[in-house]
Amino acid sequence: MTKKFRICFENYESSPGHEEIVHSKEIIMNGLIERPVDVFNFGLSHGDQIKLLHDCLDAFLKEQIALIDSEPQYCPKCKDIKLRRNGKRVSDYHDVFTDHKLEICRMRCPDCKYESGSTIQGSVILKVISKELWYCFLSDKTAEFTTMTKKFRICFESYESNPGHEEIVHSKEIIMNGLIEKPVDVFNFGLSHGDQIKLVHDCLDAFLKEQIALIYSEPQYCPKCTDIKLSRNGKRVSDYHDVFTDHKLEICRMRCPDCKFGHGSKTTFFAEHCSYKSVHWI
Ligand SMILES: [Zn+2]
Ligand SMILES: [Zn+2]
């Protein structure tokens, strides 16, 4: 069996007293969990971290935009006339670390030909969330009361799989969980800078823990007394600094019961398991 992880974006609805409905589950990232041998296979690369953030944010933005398109919009000039879809437009959206292409519906009044969101340039939010559109959101006509709350969650799953065998999910951790709200201004469109960093931090943290667990899942032998297994001798918390995030990693100290040879202190852990010294390790 091969140890793997996947990070998923789930779009679901829930309400107290109702069964949860999962609308979609998208695999954002999927890969092997390998025993770390050097700094190059420990953790996730800078490129993977940016891709992770991009794809999570992309999935979140698409859900927020779908909320705009899911409710009827009325012409601000001809009060009772519903706007109709009039094709789509791809718009650029630039965030702190990532760039996105967002597909926005063009809406047009069949009577007076009024168009909303049709001239999107630069910041998508200024056009999509135009003043007129916002007033439409506030009008009673669009207020369809629903008891279910639209939510998203980003999960980290560790699992084992092999061709011909059933997949075994070992753990599922919710990395981030929140509401999907209709965007009304730039402050609730997308994820905040802080949330983005937290997302990368918590995904990477979960991944690093799985990699470290792989080191201790196999017996380690004393390099001096050849056949003697090292035994655990407490834990040590070690700092790990990555590009965007800092982590506290719990490392087992291992000791030979015979000769008392010990490794697993912060310097020897590195020497034993990572053949390349780097400023990443303290
Ligand atoms: Zn009109
Ligand atoms: Zn020994």
Task: Return the ligand number nearest the Cα of 223.
Answer: 2
d(CA 242, CA 281): 10
Task: Identify the bridge partners of residue 160 per DSSP, sorted by sequence position.
Answer: 3, 168
Ligand 2 center from residue 231 Cα (angstroms): 10
How far, in Å, CA of 62 to CA of 28, rounded?
14
For the CA of 261, the nearest ligand = 2
**What protein residues have CB closer than 5 angstroms to ion ligand 1?**
75, 77-78, 109, 111-112, 114
- How far apart (Å, rounded) are the C-alpha atoms in residues 113 and 90? 21
Taking residues 261-270, what's their average pLDDT?
54
pLDDT at 124 over 80: no
Q: How far is the CA of 143 from the centre of ligand 1 (A)?
A: 20
CA of 118 to the centre of ligand 1 (A): 14
User: Which ligand minimizes its atom distance to the CA of 254?
Assistant: 2
Cα-to-centroid distance, 76 and ligand 1 (Å): 7
Q: For the chain, what are the domain ranges?
A: 72-143, 219-273
Give the range among 9-23, 68-82, 100-114 with minimum mean pLDDT. 68-82
Per residue in 139-197, pLDDT (tens digit) is 443 444 446 789 999 999 999 998 888 999 999 999 999 999 888 777 788 999 999 99
Residue with tokens 């999907």: 180
Mean pLDDT of the chain: 81
Q: Which ligand does the CA of 262 lie closest to?
A: 2
Please tell me the distance between residue 264's alpha carbon and the centre of ligand 2 in angstroms: 14
| Cα–ligand 2 centroid distance for 143 (angstroms) | 72
Q: Which residues contact 140 (CB under 8 A, 6 or more apart)?
A: none
Average pLDDT over every residue of 256-265:
77
Answer whether 62's CB lies under 8 Å from 108's CB.
no
Checking 252-258 for CB contacts under 8 A at 24+ apart, the result is 252/215, 252/216, 254/220, 254/230, 255/230, 255/231, 256/222, 256/224, 256/225, 256/228, 256/230, 256/231, 257/228, 257/231, 258/222, 258/225, 258/228
What is the pLDDT, as a whole number, of residue 66?
Answer: 86
Tokens of 23: 């609308």
Find the 92 Cα to ligand 2 centroid distance in Å. Answer: 61
Say how many Å lie between the CA of residue 85 and the centre of ligand 2: 74
Instruction: Supply the pTM of this predicted model.
Output: 0.79
Instruction: Specify the 3-state DSSP secondary structure of 260.
Output: coil
**% the chain with pLDDT above 70:** 82
Residues 259, 128: Cα–Cα separation, whole Å:
70
pLDDT greater than 50 at residue 279: no
* CATH class of the 219-273 domain in this structure: alpha beta
* The pLDDT value given to residue 263: 65
Long-range contacts, stretch 39-44, CB < 8 angstroms, 24+ apart: 39/274, 39/276, 39/278, 39/280, 39/281, 40/276, 42/208, 42/211, 42/274, 43/204, 43/207, 43/208, 43/211, 43/240, 43/242, 44/203, 44/204, 44/207
